[in-house]
Amino acid sequence: MIKAAFICSPDLWQQGHGAGHPLKPERLQRTHELLAAYGAFDSPESTLVQSRQATPEELGLFHTEEYIEVVRSLSQGERKFNPRRYNFGPGDNPVFPGMYETEALKVGSTLVAAELVSSGQVDVAFSFSGGLHHAGPAFASGFCVFNDAAVAIHWLLPKGLRVAYVDVDAHHGDGVQNAFYETDQVLTISLHETGLYLFPGTGFVEEMGKGAGRGYAVNLPFAPYTDDETYLWALEEIVPPLVRRFRPDIVVSQLGVDTHYRDPLTHLCLTTSGYVAAVTAIKELAPRWLALGGGGYDVDVVARSWTLAYGVMSGQEFPDDLPAVYAEKYGQGSLRDHEKPPISAELRERARRYAEDGVAALKRALDI
Ligand SMILES: [Zn+2]
């Protein structure tokens, strides 16, 4: 039996980026509520594990000492630092009370997951509040204050573990790619909507790593309106062959669900069935799996998709009818999508050709 852990604490959703910000704390609360309503943690093979806050030393595995102090200071309302120098301000990265504690708790959750997986206590751990893949060593970016993925990978590497990072968020995983751009010790693969139309504007096929890291950064961009079929075809062509060749001890995956057709911020058109198939493909890549959350801005879609993802991780098949206790609060519905997004044949075909070109270019360049 697979042993799975879900890393959680109600403190993860007490503070947020503020009214009107897309990264709503309810995303996390609703996901936890839905999983609990399904009894997802009732089996001895599936445990709910408490989050803990990352220490400044742990944050320092990736972030600069100065930046950690800046986040702490801004979070307490002090005015010692100019927030704009670190990319904080109104918009994507507002300063909010309790920011340091909340964001360090997300990194700590990912480290709890990394500890459980690397020690072999579980086969997979899901730090669903993590996957904050845009943050840099000394700046916030794209709703991300601390980069838990980069911190966790830096924590895993000295244990002699080979790490492959696979990022299926609709946005390019730029922060993680940049963190390991010049090393062959970490393979980073990001599948995302092309930077031509979406933040952060990077993640083109040509970005392949530098120096010793050449060939160890891989980007597979998709055009708007890419559907399940095209996405999964491209994923299967690129991800399993590269990860198998790299032979990782552990796969770290960022499972952002803003690829969904109802997501308000992006233009990809996956359904829950495409998302589940992608998560299942990642599951087969390595015996040890550190799974992280990420983007996803339709709260209902996020709760259903991450519930399905945890079902894949822990080998549980949840009934399609939403549990009564959850449906009473949030409305009746089904766990899985039962309709497909309306996409014209022309747009569907254009997205397919864009993916085919990307796959062909990567195969040539990486000798797949
Ligand atoms: Zn995203």
| pLDDT number for residue 286 | 86
Number of domains into which the chain is organized = 1
Domain that holds residue 180: 4-366
Gap from CA of 194 to ligand 1 centroid (Å): 12
| pLDDT number for residue 91 | 94
Gap from CA of 294 to ligand 1 centroid (Å): 6
- Based on the residue annotation, tell me whether 134 is a catalytic residue of this protein: yes
Three-state secondary structure call for residue 213: helix
* 41: nearest Cα among 316, 304, 333, 319: 316
Gap from CA of 332 to ligand 1 centroid (Å): 27
CATH number of the domain that residue 274 is part of: 3.40.800.20
Cβ distance 183 to 208 under 8 Å? no
Q: Which of 63, 133, 134, 171 is catalytic?
A: 134
Any idea what DSSP says for residue 167? E
Crossing angle, helix 99-118 and helix 65-75, to 10 degrees? 130
Cβ distance 23 to 169 under 8 Å? no
* 39: nearest Cα among 272, 324, 336, 301: 324
Q: CA 259 to CA 263: how far, in whole Å? A: 7
Gap from CA of 266 to ligand 1 centroid (Å): 8
| pLDDT number for residue 322 | 98
Structure token digits, residue 225: 């309106």
Gap from CA of 357 to ligand 1 centroid (Å): 23
Sheet with 4-8, edge to edge strand ranges: 46-50, 4-8, 124-127, 289-292, 250-254, 163-167, 186-193, 217-222
pLDDT tens for the chain, 368 residues: list them.
679 999 999 999 999 999 999 999 999 999 999 999 999 999 999 999 999 999 999 999 999 999 999 999 999 999 999 999 999 999 999 999 999 999 999 999 999 999 999 999 999 999 999 999 999 999 999 999 999 999 999 999 999 999 999 999 999 999 999 999 999 999 999 999 999 999 999 999 999 999 999 999 999 999 999 999 999 999 999 999 999 999 999 999 999 999 999 999 999 999 999 999 999 999 999 889 999 999 999 999 999 999 999 999 999 999 999 999 999 999 999 999 999 999 999 999 999 999 999 999 999 999 99
Gap from CA of 78 to ligand 1 centroid (Å): 30
Q: Evaluate the CA torsion angle 139, 141, 146, 149 in order and state its sign.
A: negative
| pLDDT number for residue 2 | 75
pTM score, whole prediction: 0.98
Gap from CA of 259 to ligand 1 centroid (Å): 8
